[in-house]
Chain A
Amino acid sequence: MTAGGVRGATAAGAGGPPSVRPRPGGLRLVRLHAASRRIPAAATAIVACAIGLRIALAVGSWDSYGALQLPLVFEAGAAAVITVTTASPLGEPERVTGRWLPFLRLATTLALTVAAAGALAAAGTGAHLAGGALDVLRNVAGMTGIGLLCAAALGGGLAWIGPVGYLVAGAYALYTQWHGPVLATPWLWPARPPHDPGAAICAGVVFAVGLAVITVRGARDPAGE
């Protein structure tokens, strides 16, 4: 993004001088916000995750462990990508520029989460996707929520630590279904069946809290990153 672009974005976001052409200005604001958060690159990465999952499902002959853990790896990848988009290259100055920023953060995060769940579920169409689309939606939402909370606590750049760390815990919880001691807590939702209400509630709560925090406060970004 150029400095001119940033200035344009912040001016429009601040709502300072009234916009002569509100619709194109709003669109420009959205476009600049998306560019500043690397949304196109994130969307590309999410599509790459979906393609990777599709190829892995089509090519590999996975045993029980592999078939269960495979979608989780790609779901974690997509969730990590979404959470990293919360990092702002502008830092503190951006927060004082206008009232639209929280809505932009909410919209981009929601849109990417829906896109990720949809892309990964679509990748499993016609193949044996363990857990199905419901599992994908729950896992992507839950891990994205963890990442959003990490973004608020650690910064957007390091927000990937949450989903990535949770991937190991979730994969291990799946493993304990064969080799104990069993981890059956709903907070480790990847190991629960897709229709398990407790796991869905836990994942949903984490996503909702993460989304609320990131919408209101944004990621904690040091100016240098």
Chain B
Amino acid sequence: MTAGAAAASRPVPARPGRWPAAGRLLRLELRHNAMLWLLPVAAALFWLTTYRKVMAMPPLWNLRAPAMQPGALLAFVLPVAGAAAWTGSREGRRRTTDLVTIAARPRWARLLAAWAATTCWALVGYLGCVAVLYGVTARQATWGGPLWWPVAVAAASLPALSALGFAAGTLAPGRFTAPLAAIGAFFVLALSTQLIHGSQSYWQISPVVTKPWDIGPDAGMATFYSYLPDLPIAQVMFLAGLTVAVMGALALPGGPGGTWLRRPAAAITAAGLLAAGTAVALAGTGKLDAHGMIAIPALHDAASDRPVRYTPVCSHARVPVCLNPAYAGYLPATAAALAPVLTEVAGLPGAPARVSQAAATYRQGAGNSVSIGLAGPAISGSPPVFHLLLLDQLPGPTMTTGALAGALRSSTGPAIVADVIGGGRSPSPAQRAVIAALLIAAGQPVHGPPPGSPPAGREPGMAPPVLAPGSPAFAAARRFAALPAPARHAWLVRHIAALRAGQVTLAQLP
């Protein structure tokens, strides 16, 4: 060895106050971490699987934020678990385990730095993706603010995934470890939800769950009532416990210089397992609440059940249509779709003085089925208010504004008229004829659903009455509809009470 080489190998004295040893180690790991090179893959997957899907949804925070959580997780799970396993298996792959055993730092400290670097890069990438998605949504949304619990749950998942992958890489180093750990993590995360049956399932602890499983995009929740943090709290608790337990377990084998760690590591591992187990038990006590979210009694804050205060946005018409400001974008189409029917019934005794959007009420059915509808009667109050449930408040594919307007015309319109005329589910012939006449006058068909209308079953209102052409009821309806609007209105004002009581016959219709 030359003198120069000897000089070069002399340890460089630490400069106090600049970077502590742990910080320098972390900085080194950050500079050479595999996750950094996998960030473009994660970002591309996020764009393909999450950003495109979420941006195709209406700009509602309660719709986009919960959809972001599982999407982001599934986009990041493979890169994070794979990179962590790759990093964790580094010493074994390169056969440098013995070489680094003589380092001044305990093995666990070195492992912790490598794991922390992987997790840091994963969080940086994830938060960058979320920032873009939330930034665009903030510009488009008409009301409300970002929901942070979905962001927190997905963020808490990344250290846990990283810890699991890292542990796999450390304990079973090899070239196959990284892909198998990544695919195993994806398998568990993506397909564990197959085991969810009903809202009282322990498997809801899976961080891809944000609401009752299997109901798809659900715009009805977290608009009229706040986003319940019960399940997210349990999920974060589980993920944090899992992370602590796994990282603590890595210190248990000890090794030279690391034996003093065993006892605290065992305590940390036990505490982590306890937290994770408690969280799973709590998730099993969850119950679908009336507002569409999972409530966990032990974590539930009664204040969350209070309705969110808002000032509705209303159309300027004789019978105004009022919507939650989050749905302000739907107001022109909704008002235009209901205007013809509201014009026909305006001023009649018992007719709505206002149409107001209402919150959906949820009820757990068998298995994963959930029934959703209005809490009370469609028309109530004094002056009467018609409570409207927009189709987009129901689970299912998101509708375009045009499709929504068409569905409102074909289902909510008849429901408004039927509620005013009376007869419920089995109207008398005269009631059927008058309902049909008012719909004809409003420009709606009464001999079958309009072409292109959505399949039956999703409409919150009712199907239009179908009258067979040539039947006496059809003829009476055509005759009544042909009357001038003032004459029709005047007759209804005089006879609405008798008509509602079922005391008017077809022959008595003008």
Which A residues are within 8 Å of any B CB, using their own CB? Answer: 38, 41-42, 45, 60-63, 66, 69-70, 73, 76-77, 80-81, 84, 87, 156-158, 160-161, 163-165, 167-169, 171-172, 176, 179-181, 224-225
Contact = CB atoms under 8 A, between A and B. Distances in A.
B225 to A, nearest CB: 25
Given A60-B194, A165-B45, A179 B216 contact: yes
Contacts of B74: 168, 171-172
Contacts of B194: 60-63, 66
Contacts of A176: 53
B12 interface: no
A180 B49 contact: no
Contacts of A161: 38, 41, 79, 82
A169 B190 contact: no
Interface of B: 34, 37-38, 41, 44-45, 48-49, 52-53, 56, 74-75, 78-79, 82, 86, 93-94, 174-176, 178-180, 182-183, 186-187, 190-191, 194, 214, 216-217, 397
Nearest to B50: A172
A40 B87 CA distance: 24
Given A62-B194, A63-B194, A179-B397, A77 B78 contact: no
Contacts of A77: 179-180, 183
B188 to A, nearest CB: 10
Contact of A167 (B53, B94, B186): B186
B176 A158 contact: no
Contact of A160 (B37, B49, B94, B182): B182
Contacts of A163: 179
Contacts of A167: 78, 183, 186
B52 A165 contact: no
B48 A169 contact: yes
Contacts of B41: 161, 165
Q: Which 7 A-B pairs have the closest CB atoms?
A: A160-B179, A80-B179, A172-B49, A77-B183, A66-B194, A164-B78, A168-B45
B53 A181 contact: yes
Among B34, B41, B179, B186, max chain A CB count under 10 A is at B179
B217 A164 contact: no
Contacts of B178: 160
Nearest to A169: B48
A165 B78 contact: yes
Given A172-B74, A181-B52, 16 more contacts: A41-B176, A73-B186, A77-B179, A80-B179, A81-B180, A87-B175, A158-B34, A158-B86, A160-B82, A160-B179, A161-B38, A168-B45, A172-B48, A179-B53, A179-B216, A179-B397
A38 B53 contact: no
B187 A73 contact: yes
Contacts of A171: 74, 190
A22 to B, nearest CB: 31
B49 to A, nearest CB: 4
Contact of B179 (A60, A84, A169, A179): A84
A220 to B, nearest CB: 14
Given A66-B191, A171-B190, A164 B56 contact: no
B342 to A, nearest CB: 33
12 contacts: A38-B174, A45-B176, A77-B183, A80-B179, A81-B180, A161-B38, A161-B41, A165-B41, A171-B74, A179-B216, A181-B53, A225-B94
